[in-house]
């Protein structure tokens, strides 16, 4: 990823992962894809709803034939129309009007979006529904399951053809408040790279920062020195500060950037609900 710079901001290198989306502001959003199991649960719920609609439509056709409203010569047309409406028409309409949702996806907290992060529209919904006749209805989901096991976002064949994926709509909770950046490190925070810090180490750092005031001075200094030694290989550049100040600064920068990323993710999810 090429570094992006502005007159007021320092150069930042962004390592894009398989599940990240780059916004127009060059901000990488950590998109949380729905796993294969939850996708299967959501698809099963939608499949059951479809079966109920087919049974209800079949009973209605039978009643109309019995009452003489529908001639027997039109039975074939009626059955085909029912299949097309339930297998293609209903999924396309629901997915288009609900911005990628369905009853099953609401249950598992998912939404269908384009792979570029935008809201899926009629074209994507129609392609997914059309391909779904083969991979979901005719094979009872077997094709979708096999394809989903070999795609990074558990995409089914319809997703690959439509350029869509299923993502979580229930975003993670914002991280708890942490002490602010130590004085005098504002310029360093603008250029600091803390993205390589492992999650477990980041959790240890955060725990220390929140409980440091309750520790004995000797133990506090010892733990801070140990964490600073562990943190330094993952931080660049290194500020000329003591061990505890370094640990506090890294914790503050990482927390602020996580907060901004989660805020952007929440705003993007809200925008997908409002706009097609």
Same-domain check for residues 200 and 266: yes
The strand pair at 164-168 and 9-12 is best described as unpaired
Residues 162, 124 contacting (CB under 8 angstroms): yes
Return the number of other C-beta atoms located less than 10 Å from residue 6's C-beta: 8
Same-domain check for residues 111 and 126: yes
Summarised one tens digit per residue, pLDDT across range 48-88 is: 999 999 999 989 888 888 887 878 777 888 889 999 999 99
Summarised one tens digit per residue, pLDDT across range 98-137 is: 888 899 888 888 889 888 777 888 999 999 999 999 999 9
Question: Is 19 inside a domain boundary?
Answer: no
Same-domain check for residues 145 and 220: no
Same-domain check for residues 90 and 193: no
Same-domain check for residues 40 and 164: yes
End-to-end CA distance of the chain: 29
Is residue 2's pLDDT more than 80?
Answer: no
Of 112, 140, 168, which residue sits at a domain end? Answer: 168
The two three-digit tokens of residue 197, written as one number: 């810090």
Measured in degrees and rounded to the nearest 5, phi and psi for residue 193 equal -110, 105
Is residue 213's pLDDT more than 90?
Answer: no
Q: How far apart are CA 89 and CA 23, in angstroms?
A: 33
**Domain that includes residue 79, residue range:** 36-168
E strand spans, 120-222: 164-168
Question: Is 137 inside a domain boundary?
Answer: yes
Same-domain check for residues 163 and 49: yes
Least-confidence region, from 8-12, 197-201, 207-211, 219-223: 8-12
Question: Is 198 inside a domain boundary?
Answer: yes
Burial, 167: exposed, middle or buried (Cβ in 10 Å; 0-12, 13-18, 19+)? Answer: buried
The count of structural domains within the chain is 2
Question: Is 216 inside a domain boundary?
Answer: yes
Is residue 14's pLDDT more than 60?
Answer: no
Of 115, 145, 168, which residue sits at a domain end? Answer: 168
pTM of the model: 0.57
Same-domain check for residues 164 and 182: no
Question: Is 18 inside a domain boundary?
Answer: no
Of 122, 140, 168, which residue sits at a domain end? Answer: 168
């Amino acid at each position: 990823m090429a570094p992006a710079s502005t007159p007021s901001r320092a150069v930042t290198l962004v390592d894009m992962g398989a599940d990240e989306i780059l916004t127009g502001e060059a901000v990488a959003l950590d998109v949380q894809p729905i796993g294969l199991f939850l996708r299967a649960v959501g698809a099963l719920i939608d499949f059951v709803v479809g079966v109920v609609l087919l049974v209800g439509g079949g009973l209605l056709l039978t009643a109309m034939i019995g009452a003489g409203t529908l001639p027997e010569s039109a039975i074939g047309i009626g059955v085909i129309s029912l299949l097309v409406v339930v297998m293609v028409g209903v999924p396309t309409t629901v997915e288009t009007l609900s911005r990628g949702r369905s009853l099953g996806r609401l249950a598992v907290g998912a939404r269908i979006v384009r792979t570029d992060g935008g809201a899926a529209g009629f074209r994507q919904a129609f392609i997914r529904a059309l391909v779904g006749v083969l991979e979901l209805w005719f094979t009872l989901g077997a094709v979708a399951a096999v394809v989903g096991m070999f795609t990074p976002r558990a995409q089914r064949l319809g997703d690959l053809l439509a350029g869509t994926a299923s993502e979580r709509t229930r975003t993670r909770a914002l991280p708890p408040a942490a002490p602010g950046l130590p004085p005098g490190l504002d310029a360093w925070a603008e250029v600091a790279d803390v993205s390589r810090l492992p999650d477990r180490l980041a959790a240890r750092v955060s725990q220390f920062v929140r409980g440091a005031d309750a520790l004995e001075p000797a133990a506090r200094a010892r733990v801070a020195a140990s964490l600073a030694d562990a943190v330094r290989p993952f931080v660049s550049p290194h500020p000329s500060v003591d061990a505890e100040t370094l640990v506090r600064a890294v914790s503050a920068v990482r927390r602020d950037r996580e907060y901004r990323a989660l805020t952007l993710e929440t705003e993007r999810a809200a925008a997908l609900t409002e706009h097609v």
